[in-house]
Chains A and B, each alone.
Chain A
Amino acid sequence: MPRLLPYLLLLPATAFLCLFFLFPFVQVAHDSVMRNGAYTLENFTRMAGHWKFSTAFWNTMLLAAVVVPIQLAMALTMASIVTKLQRGRSTILYIFAIPLGISDLAAGLVWLAIFEQSGFLNSLLVGLGVIDQPILLLGYQNTWIIFIAIVLAEVWRATAIMMVILVAGMGLIPKEYREAADVFGASRWQKFRRVTLPMLRPSLQTALILRVILAFEVFAVVVALGGTQLPVLMSETYHWQFAMQERGVAAAFAMVILGVSVAFTILILRLLHVPKGARV
């Protein structure tokens, strides 16, 4: 009985993950190569042949490429600040962590309030005399402004999760190491670069993987701010599933998102590999 106990306790979770995680992914892979009851690559050729596909793909990649580095830099800054703080630490932590609880849709709406035509940005610009008339910021003529708005919303919303992981990671680094570096004459920047950053690798790994995958999943923010004017992979998946009722093609999109996610996970694991003996 005692030997069976752990398995008994794990059984519900394992069954759940098999049924609602492993199985659906096999299913979606299967759906992506199935059309009218026969195995085929037609779903993929239809997907790739559609004029919006490459736009959606490169928009997603470009968003991730712009958003993630900014978030990494900001999260590191915020985490360093929080770690350094003596007074007001918990309040500032709470404020920094607030976006963690805000959904991507809500974040999209928050930034819509700023960027829409009668919104706060236009009000500010007119008030400052930069422009005479409010302009349509999120229009099809200015997809680059839509892009910037999405970047801002994503950075605003999802930096908190990286920050929290990094704060937790910094908490695990004994301060003796930094003090030792102090004794050996390291400057503030050198301490950060030579001591904190290398020891933070496991946390950086987790934070980056989580963030990069979430970046490929960007959806509601894009829809809220750009409607259909800036297609990304997730919004196209949604579009094919619902508007076009083409489940096979939607599955093919899913496989593309899955493919880049797994590829980047492996890449990050490789790049930030920490040998077992070298962990804190």
Chain B
Amino acid sequence: MSAPSVRRAGDRVFVAGVALLILWVLLPIWLLFVNALSAPAEVTAFPKRFIPSFDLASLSFFFGFSGVLDALWNSVRVAAVTMILSIGVGAPAGYALSRFDFPGKEAFRFLVVMTRAFPLPLLALPLAVMFIRTGLDDTILGLALVHTTLALPFAVLITYSLFSGIPLELEEAAWTLGCNRVQAFIKVILPLAAPGIAASAVFAFVISWNEVFAAAVLTVENRTLTAFLLQSLDVSPLPLKFAGGAALVLPALFFIFAVRKYLFAMWGIANR
């Protein structure tokens, strides 16, 4: 075989590999949506069709099921509080890390990075007791606090990388042009960092939206969607499970799309 044809064969293998990987990622999602968009009778029927009938009965059964709408609303609220808390607490820390050198900086970074070596959902166990004592048990805020612990290290590292990417000179220029620290931050740093901060907020939202273990441990009455689905797994009929799965997955598709530009910037620095 001549050299160009070897290369062409190699290219074909490459393209086939890429196609296979894309199929590997997308096909299972497709199948879940086939189930979610078929009537309950079709979901339990055999054999399955690989194309949905676009019957909304499964979905309306799911959304009409007692407790589902509440759980969905709880999930949104917990995720929203998590998002606000983790950015509100994490962004100042990220800014401090990016702009100052001070004794204790390394200790703080170590604390943040250390959270990675620990299975964080387990925190829910001792916190369950602490929350009962403080009246935070089974509340939106209580769960959001645990989810913030999961999201905070990311928020700190992501905002740290964002702020580090904005030259200090821009801030200094603003100071020499009549700004104090706060004005310079609002007029120069914030507009430049805003898209990235929004992306890391979305990321925090996703972390909370998807979390299962702590949510299941910490909520009883006010279950989030994941906790609700988990605790009814062995009793609920298949159409309910698949519609619930689809309800979990669909927002994720949009979230990841929204933050796609920042995924790599986030993880690139989060390495260090």
| Residue positions of A touching B, CB distance < 8 A | 3, 5-7, 9-10, 12-14, 16-17, 20-25, 27-28, 31, 77-78, 81, 90, 92-106, 109-114, 116-120, 122-123, 126-127, 134, 156, 164-165, 167-169, 171-172, 202-203, 206, 209-210, 213, 216-217, 219-220, 223-224, 227, 234, 237-238, 241-242, 247, 250-251, 254, 257-258, 261-262, 265
What are the residues of chain A within 8 A of B126 when measuring CB–CB?
Answer: 23-25, 27-28, 31, 251
Are B111 and A102 interface neighbours, CB within 8 A?
A: no
Alpha-carbon distance A238/B48, docked complex (angstroms): 34
Known: A78-B21, A81-B18, A168-B268. Is A112-B241 also a contact (CB below 8 A)? yes
Are B127 and A20 interface neighbours, CB within 8 A?
A: yes
Are A13 and B93 interface neighbours, CB within 8 A?
A: yes
User: Is B211 at the interface (CB under 8 A from chain A)?
Assistant: yes
Are B268 and A172 interface neighbours, CB within 8 A?
A: yes
Report A67 CB to chain B, min CB distance, Å: 15
User: Is B193 at the interface (CB under 8 A from chain A)?
Assistant: no
What are the residues of chain A within 8 A of B226 when measuring CB–CB?
Answer: 103, 105, 220
Report A133 CB to chain B, min CB distance, Å: 9
User: Is B178 at the interface (CB under 8 A from chain A)?
Assistant: no
What are the residues of chain A within 8 A of B210 when measuring CB–CB?
Answer: 101-106
Q: Which residue of B lies closest to A117 (CB)?
A: B46
Within the complex, which residue of B48, B99, B111, B260 is in contact with A17, where a contact is CB–CB below 8 Å?
Answer: B111
Q: Which residue of A lies closest to B210 (CB)?
A: A103
Alpha-carbon distance A164/B256, docked complex (angstroms): 12
Are A258 and B119 interface neighbours, CB within 8 A?
A: yes
Are A106 and B268 interface neighbours, CB within 8 A?
A: no
Are B233 and A223 interface neighbours, CB within 8 A?
A: yes
The total number of A-B Cβ pairs within 8 Å is: 276
Are A251 and B252 interface neighbours, CB within 8 A?
A: no
Within the complex, which residue of B28, B89, B264 is in contact with A171, where a contact is CB–CB below 8 Å?
Answer: B264
Alpha-carbon distance A81/B11, docked complex (angstroms): 12
Report A60 CB to chain B, min CB distance, Å: 11
Report A219 CB to chain B, min CB distance, Å: 5
Are A258 and B122 interface neighbours, CB within 8 A?
A: yes
Report B119 CB to chain A, min CB distance, Å: 5
Alpha-carbon distance A164/B203, docked complex (angstroms): 14
Are B264 and A234 interface neighbours, CB within 8 A?
A: no
Report A208 CB to chain B, min CB distance, Å: 11
What are the residues of chain B within 8 A of A23 when measuring CB–CB?
Answer: 126
User: Is B84 at the interface (CB under 8 A from chain A)?
Assistant: no
Are B271 and A10 interface neighbours, CB within 8 A?
A: no
The 9 closest A-B pairs by CB, nearest first: A103-B210, A109-B245, A101-B252, A168-B268, A27-B126, A9-B96, A13-B93, A123-B47, A6-B100
Q: Mark B199-232, 1 if CB is under 8 A from A, else 0.
A: 0000000100111110011000000001001100
Are B252 and A123 interface neighbours, CB within 8 A?
A: no
User: Is B195 at the interface (CB under 8 A from chain A)?
Assistant: no
Contact sample, A vs B, 30 pairs, CB 8 Å cutoff: A5-B100, A6-B105, A9-B92, A17-B152, A20-B149, A21-B115, A21-B118, A21-B149, A24-B123, A28-B123, A31-B125, A92-B22, A95-B26, A100-B263, A102-B249, A105-B212, A109-B242, A113-B35, A123-B47, A123-B48, A164-B267, A172-B268, A213-B117, A220-B226, A220-B230, A227-B233, A238-B216, A247-B125, A254-B122, A254-B125
